[in-house]
Amino acid sequence: MNRLFLLFCLTFVSAYEVHAQTTFVLEPSQSMIMTGKGPGQDATINPYQGQDCFAIVENIGDRQFTVRIQQDGKIINEITILKGESKKIKLLKEQELYLDPNPKGTAKASVDYEKIK
């Protein structure tokens, strides 16, 4: 009976999709790396590190900010996130995700990750 219960629990836990969401306040002079440099250096924990995934970035503040995707020191893409806007960005396993603030004031962002199905 105990083994059956344990098996059920393990099945449920392995089927549960992991999400790591974090909220950030970006000061005007502060650029933040969200993911891509590795444990201890990233501002968020990407549960899909080492594989392609989606980064869901939401502007929860009053000012726009920019999301920057880099790989090997080269900028791949820059995306502006307007007030109240959310964007789903494909993030390849070798890419780094940065949040660049608005130079005119404090911005707020929420970052989440989703598995590519």
Q: pLDDT for 74-99, tens place per residue?
A: 999 999 999 999 999 999 989 999 99
Residue 60 has pLDDT above 50, yes or no: yes
pTM metric for this prediction:
0.76
CA atoms of 103 and 63, how far apart (whole Å): 10
| Sheet with 86-91: strands ordered across | 22-26, 107-115, 53-59, 86-91
Residue 117 CA to residue 114 CA, distance in Å, equals 9
The DSSP call for residue 7 is H
50 in Cβ contact with 116 (< 8 Å): no
